[in-house]
Amino acid sequence: MLRLWRATINSWNGLVFAARSEQAIREELFALLLAVPLACLIGTTMIRRVELVAVVLLLLTVELLNTAIEKLADRLTTDHDPQIGHVKDMGSAAVGVVLLMIAAVWGVALAERMGLL
């Protein structure tokens, strides 16, 4: 039980640090706050509402991982390194893929709500 408590504290500290240091994390937390009530309005079923919120949580998760990769890479060297640049670009691409997923899931949900599907 103590291990679970410590893991929870570490996770909370990581989220707080990321939110304080990264604008993208703050924006995605705001998007999550908007997604919860909007999902209740747009989602036609409970599972659709869960999916709408889950893809936004997935975005936050991938952004946290991308931020961790970038901070670690910056810590390794301040010199321009093409390989580190490629790693950072891949992290950014992962965030982009999740944004496309969000557009697809929310688009389908909106189409369902409007009776187009």
CA distances, 68 to each of 18, 64, 72, 111 (Å): 9, 6, 6, 36
Task: Tell me the pLDDT tens digit for each residue of 87-109.
Answer: 999 999 999 999 999 999 999 99
CA 85 to chain centre: 21
DSSP structure string for 11-55: HHHHHHHHHHH-HHHHHHHHHHHHHHHHHHHH-SSHHHHHHHHHH
Tell me the pLDDT tens digit for each residue of 3-53: 999 999 999 999 999 999 999 999 999 999 999 999 999 999 999 999 999
| 0.95 exceeded by pTM | no
Structure tokens that stand for 9 in this block? 């504290």
pLDDT attached to residue 77: 84
Residues in the chain: 117
At 48-85, the pLDDT tens digits run 999 999 999 999 999 999 999 999 999 988 888 899 99
Structural domains in the chain, sorted by start: 2-113 (1.10.287.3610)
Annotated catalytic residue 112: no
The catalytic residue among 27, 63, 70, 112 is 63
Question: In degrees rounded to 5, what are phi and psi of residue 100?
Answer: -65, -40
